[in-house]
Amino acid sequence: MEEKLIATLKDYFARYPKSEEVYMTDGLLFHLSGDAKGYGSGIAKRYTRHDIQEAEASHSPDGLAEQIRSGAVEVDSMSYEEMKQYAQSLGLRTADQKKTTIAEALKALADNKEIY
């Protein structure tokens, strides 16, 4: 889930603390499924408060590190931009910003090695 979407949904649930779910159609949020389906394209995506909590956990530094360690995210298949985002989110310091250097740091993290 994208950071912007997470922020939008967090804001929604903060404004409506009794709501446990929300529906999104064409970028707009609706309380009810029928309202969302009746608007625009008719395709509504359902999000729950639990979905947001899971998404936040997976975007936290511990969650990102665990994704790499568990193999849920393969460093070799990541784009340079994805590697940079992971390294920045995890606070990894590297000698330079080259793709190979960042990849080595992320692989070291996957192997539970010390990274500097």
**Is the pLDDT assigned to residue 2 strictly greater than 80?**
no
User: ∠29-31-37 over CA atoms, to 5°?
Assistant: 70
Same domain for 69 and 53, yes or no, is no
**Is the pLDDT assigned to residue 44 strictly greater than 80?**
yes
116 falls within a domain: no
CA 54 to CA 110: how far, in whole Å? 21
- Into how many domains does the chain fold? 2
User: By the 8 A CB rule, do 52 and 10 touch?
Assistant: yes
What is the mean pLDDT of the segment spanning 92-96? 87
Q: What is the pLDDT of residues 64-90, one digit of tens each?
A: 777 777 777 788 888 888 888 888 878
Count of residues in the chain: 116
Domain that holds residue 75: 64-110
Give the helix/strand (H/E) hosting 38. Answer: helix 33-38
What average pLDDT is seen over the chain?
A: 83
Q: How confident is the model at residue 116, as a pLDDT?
A: 43
48 falls within a domain: yes
